[in-house]
Amino acid sequence: MKKNILVTGAAGQIGTELVPALRERYGDERVIAAGHRTPLPDEVRDGGPHITLDVANQADVVAAIRDHDIEVIYHLASILSALAEANRQNAHAVNVNGLYHVLEAAVAGDVRQVNVPSSIAAFGPDTPPVNTPNETLQRPNTLYGIAKVLGELWGNYYATKLGLDVRGLRLPGIISWKTEPTAGTTDYAVAIFYGALREGRYTCYLRPDTSLPMMYMPDCINAIIGLAEADMAKLKHHADFNVAGVSFTPSELTAAIQRRMPDFEIDYDIDPLRQGIADSWPDSLDDSVARAEWGWRPTYDLDAMVDDMLANLSIKLR
């Protein structure tokens, strides 16, 4: 019987925290961390098996699944929103071809389950922005979002037609202190804490009233593992669950930081690319489907998240 877990994109913002959480839960030796060009952080590299894997290369993906006795995959390798707009070829190679390679190699290699995050980027400018329902008009206008919709539809297809258990969450912007985000649209909500602690100030690239769905990393890890472990018999959806954490604007986040650091200052220098992307995404999400089908509940609100970010980042930046 197959027994191991493969995590692609293991050096990324989510991978660096998901790998240790999976190792703690299922055993260090069972979790294979697959990095690419970004070096794996010490905790991930030293904590268990690790390999280098280019998901754009189908033969590499097939070999990783075959050679490491893989039962479950967490496919996190991705080119995020702003970076995808800047490099269409690489975005297609990783976000479209890479996912196809993982799904096909999983079917051929008898993998039991593939977990692959979608994103709020799977929505678009015509989507109802407030309390966006699970089932609604999507029509994203970014390359990253288009690939996410394809991933959701493929996930549902492989699950219902090919018997591969594919599961996925539409993650909001993820906030964390261990690994900095790459080039997403919600990165300001992490960078603002570095600015506050290092310089007492931050220049934000989104307008102060831009509301976006966000989630603190511990909730993100619980959501990913919670969905992966959910009872299949209770799931009507597969690769397209809305999950909400907390929604806020740059000005609301600034106020929360200023309540703890009264001298913190913010100004704004709007980046039209990322502002345009943010304007096409929901303000807030209705996650009642995830709550009903597998018991999803977030634990961090804005104040709890800000307290935890400031406490941990001040130690990290000492």
Ligand X SMILES: NC(=O)c1ccc[n+]([C@@H]2O[C@H](COP(=O)([O-])OP(=O)(O)OC[C@H]3O[C@@H](n4cnc5c(N)ncnc54)[C@H](O)[C@@H]3O)[C@@H](O)[C@H]2O)c1
- Active-site residues, by number, are 144
177: closest CA among 80, 48, 307?
A: 307
Do residues 269 and 161 lie in contact, with contact meaning Cβ atoms separated by under 8 Å?
no
Which of 71-79, 157-165, 252-260, 261-269 is the region at the interface with ligand X (rule: CB under 6 A)?
71-79
Which of 173-181, 253-261, 289-297, 306-314 is the region at the interface with ligand X (rule: CB under 6 A)?
173-181
- Comparison of 64 and 289: residue with beta carbon closer to ligand X: 64
Cβ partners under 8 Å of residue 214, min gap 6: 172, 173, 174, 175, 186, 189, 245, 246, 247, 248
- Comparison of 54 and 318: residue with beta carbon closer to ligand X: 54
Do residues 170 and 135 lie in contact, with contact meaning Cβ atoms separated by under 8 Å?
no
Q: Which position among 6, 19, 32, 53 is part of the footprint of ligand X (CB under 6 A)?
A: 53
Residue 40 as a binder of ligand X (CB under 6 A): the answer is no
Shortest-Cβ-distance residue relative to ligand X: 12
Which of 22-30, 50-58, 62-70, 284-292 is the region at the interface with ligand X (rule: CB under 6 A)?
50-58
Q: Which residue has the tokens 């993650």?
A: 171
Containing H/E element for 194?
A: helix 188-199
Residue 37 as a binder of ligand X (CB under 6 A): the answer is yes
The Cα angle at residue 210 between residues 207 and 215, in degrees rounded to 5? 125
In whole angstroms, the minimum distance from the beta carbon of 234 to ligand X comes to: 24
Q: Which position among 4, 6, 8, 122 is part of the footprint of ligand X (CB under 6 A)?
A: 8
3-state secondary structure of 281: coil
- Comparison of 189 and 306: residue with beta carbon closer to ligand X: 189
Q: Which position among 41, 124, 184, 213 is part of the footprint of ligand X (CB under 6 A)?
A: 184
Per-residue mark of binding to ligand X, 96-135 (x: CB under 6 A)? --x------------------x-x----------------
Cβ partners under 8 Å of residue 240, min gap 6: 118, 122, 134, 152, 155, 156, 168, 170
Residue 11 as a binder of ligand X (CB under 6 A): the answer is yes
Residue 38 as a binder of ligand X (CB under 6 A): the answer is yes
Residue 168 as a binder of ligand X (CB under 6 A): the answer is no
Q: State the DSSP string of 45-104.
A: HHTS-EEE--TT-HHHHHHHHHHTTEEEEEE-----HHHHHH-HHHHIIIIIIIHHHHHH
Containing H/E element for 169?
A: strand 169-171
Judged by the rule CB under 6 A, the positions of this chain that interact with ligand X are 8-9, 11-15, 36-38, 53-56, 76-78, 80, 94, 98, 117, 119, 171, 173-174, 181-182, 184, 186
